Amino acid sequence: MPAEAPDYVPLEPAAEAADVTHTYARDGLSVKALDGASLNVARGEVLAVVGPSGSGKSTLLFLLGGLDRPDSGTVKVAGVDWQSLSGDERARFRRGNCGFVVQGMALLPQATAGENVEVPLVLDDVEPAERASRTAEALDRVGLAGEQAKLPDQLSGGQQQRVGIARALVGRPTLVLADEPTGNLDSKTGLAVTALLLDAAREGGAAVVMVTHDPTVAAQADRVIEMHSGRLSPTARTGPAATPAGGPAEAGPTP
């Protein structure tokens, strides 16, 4: 029990999940995908989530991004409880605060790299001039400044993934959620794309929660936590491991 107020003002975490449960019902069966999961990620921090298939990692990301609701427990991004937002507010809040990076990226095949990146800004009615400059900046940040006018099938797999990363970052998110972002890439390309994602996110001050199977990808995070049967392992902790934006990248899991 703290006797005194701390002499600093703690920063609002970028995201927090507290004792979250989530059950899927299918064919009369229920699957408890999350069973009391808690985590906390600071601004500028990169958290890797590892664990066996079916342990609830993707479900955790859906809930952090407000794409599904917990049965119990709370999920907050930038201090805002998803539960306090109506449907429209959720969509807008998500576009302003959450960037998603998924395997394969689901780019629009008939749209150029620039148009793909711009989508979230169009949905948010951002002015065309502002859209153009932010799109160019996001593509530049992922090393694709010259590829803006190309269609996805004119780009390599790694380049397509970088377009997806630019799209995830163009809204200047508080939280980037990445689900097996390198799963479809060879390991060398996967590592390079991860490094780029993490640098770009740290530069923008975003927190990253990244699900990965690949230990060398996980080793690029500030902190690694394990999921088993819908719970985060006892090694999961909140801590000061956050790397300041622009600061040195710390390799390796923290014990």
Q: What are phi and psi of 23, to 5 degrees?
A: -120, 130
For residue 223, state whether it binds ligand ADP (rule: CB under 6 A). Answer: no
By CB under 6 A, name the one of 56, 66, 114, 204 that touches ligand ADP.
Answer: 56
For residue 31, state whether it binds ligand ADP (rule: CB under 6 A). Answer: yes
In the bound complex, what is the minimum distance in angstroms from residue 225's beta carbon to Mg ion?
A: 15
For residue 184, state whether it binds Mg ion (rule: CB under 5 A). Answer: no
3-state secondary structure of 235: coil
From the list 127, 118, 97, 103, the residue with the least C-alpha distance to 12 is: 97
d(CA 101, CA 163): 10
- Two tokens, residue 61: 């990301």
Residue 59 interaction partner, one of Mg ion, ligand ADP, none, beta carbon < 5-8 Å per kind: ligand ADP
Q: Segment contacting Mg ion (CB under 5 A): 32-40, 49-57, 161-169, 216-224?
A: 49-57
Residue 53 interaction partner, one of ligand ADP, Mg ion, none, beta carbon < 5-8 Å per kind: ligand ADP
CB 197 within 8 A of CB 178: yes
Residue 188 interaction partner, one of ligand ADP, Mg ion, none, beta carbon < 5-8 Å per kind: none
By CB under 5 A, name the one of 58, 103, 233, 254 that touches Mg ion.
Answer: 58
Q: What are phi and psi of 224, to 5 degrees?
A: -125, 130
Residue count, binding to Mg ion (CB under 5 A): 2
- Two tokens, residue 247: 């600061």
The residue behind tokens 């990692």 is: 57
Q: Segment contacting ligand ADP (CB under 6 A): 24-32, 98-106, 111-119, 247-255?
A: 24-32
